[in-house]
Amino acid sequence: MPEAALPARALRAPASQARGARGEALAGLFLTLPAGISYVLLLLLPTIAAVLLAFTDYELGAPDVRWIGIENFRELVDDRGFVISLRNTIVYVGIVAPASIAGALVLALLIEATTRGKALFRAVFFLPVVSLPVGMATAWQYLLHPTIGPVNAFLRDVGVAGPAWLTSSDTVLLSLAFIGIWEAIGFNLVLFLAGLTAIPRELHQAAEVDGVRSAWERFRLVTWPLLGPTTLFVVTITMIRSVRVFDSVAVLTQGGPNRASEVLLYTMYTEGFTFFRLGYSAAITLVFLVIVLGLMLLQTKVLDRRVHYG
């Protein structure tokens, strides 16, 4: 392939050899320039602006902006809506992350052990990862509808009165978490499958020769320790992904009923783009950013200390 891509113009060779280090430096700068400009304009400056905004009382359409220091953050602490939103987000992550990780691990071990249908099962469980979340959320809205939804129709048939999944404050967060698990499990499954493939088969055979008879003991002594780096990675990426829950809330509950499903990004969205309190919204964004950075820091800390196999 490389030969085909190269026109043979050997005559110009001396000129290009003479170009030297300065030419290379110029070329390097020239090639990074487009990315550099868009990086500064679309990522660096807006991010800095968002951080600065968090310390102002800026509202869209307001005549002037004042620097108010940490006033927004002081207001956040006293804002019942925000505190509920933060708590809901933590509960949501606390359900979705462990359940989707444990579920994906079990599925990965089962799929790895089967001799047929591997690709089919992987595709089935991965399907939600690529499906339009808004479209699937409306499908869940129908499935979980209190009167005409198939889930409650099924429960009625077996003699149980199903709850109003998405419209009762007792069950709404749980229902959203369930949808979140359904969306996340396939992604984690694929990461675990990749991790499992990397474990040499001889190790399991060696363990068996050494008298480790039960499958569970082999998992505990061989698979689990060697899967450590993968697991750690899956844990942090799942937490970071589920802190960003937005679509299902925006489509199904708008944070309701009575703020029972209010989550960080949705609160940030309504403060910023419905009430146009951009300064306050930026403060929420900053809280969100600190949580995400904290999770990433946790990953590198643990990674430095614990990972022995990669």
Partner 1 sequence: MAERPSQPGAELARLLFLGLLGLLFLMPYIWMISASLKPLDEIFRASLNLIPEGGGTLRNYARVLAEVPVAQYLWNGIVVCAGILLFQLMFAVPAGYAIAKLNFPGREWVFGAVMLGLLVPHHVPALPLYVGLSWLGWLNTYASLIIPSTISVFAIFLFRQFFKALPDELIHAARIDGMGELSIVWRVIMPNALPAATAFAIFSVVAHWNDLFWPLIAVTGHERATPALAILYYRSEEAGDDFGALMAASVIMTAPLVLAFLLAQRRFVEGIATTGLKG
Binding to partner 1 (CB under 8 A) within 169-188 occurs at 182, 187
Query: Which part of the chain contacts partner 1 (CB under 8 A), choosing from 64-72, 89-97, 283-291, 302-310?
Result: 283-291
For the segment 85-104, give every residue that binds partner 1 (CB under 8 A): none
For the segment 211-270, give every residue that binds partner 1 (CB under 8 A): 215, 218-219, 223, 233, 237, 240-241, 244, 246-247, 250-251, 265, 268-269
Q: DSSP letters along 212-256, please?
A: --SHHHHIIIIIHHHTHHHHHHHHHHHHHHHHT--HHHHHHTTT-
Rounded to the nearest whole angstrom, what is the least distance from the CB of residue 5 to partner 1 in the complex?
Answer: 5
Closer to partner 1 by Cβ: residue 84 or 272: 272
Rounded to the nearest whole angstrom, what is the least distance from the CB of residue 301 to partner 1 in the complex?
Answer: 15
Nearest-angstrom CA–CA distance, 82 and 255: 11
Rounded to the nearest whole angstrom, what is the least distance from the CB of residue 77 to partner 1 in the complex?
Answer: 21
Does position 21 interact with partner 1 (CB under 8 A)? The reply is yes
Nearest-angstrom CA–CA distance, 274 and 103: 37
Closer to partner 1 by Cβ: residue 21 or 77: 21
Rounded to the nearest whole angstrom, what is the least distance from the CB of residue 198 to partner 1 in the complex?
Answer: 13
Rounded to the nearest whole angstrom, what is the least distance from the CB of residue 226 to partner 1 in the complex?
Answer: 12
Does position 140 interact with partner 1 (CB under 8 A)? The reply is yes
Does position 288 interact with partner 1 (CB under 8 A)? The reply is yes
107-115 long-range contacts, CB within 8 A, separation 24+: 107/185, 107/189, 107/192, 108/189, 108/192, 108/193, 108/195, 108/196, 109/196, 109/219, 109/223, 111/189, 111/193, 112/193, 112/196, 112/197
Nearest-angstrom CA–CA distance, 21 and 219: 55
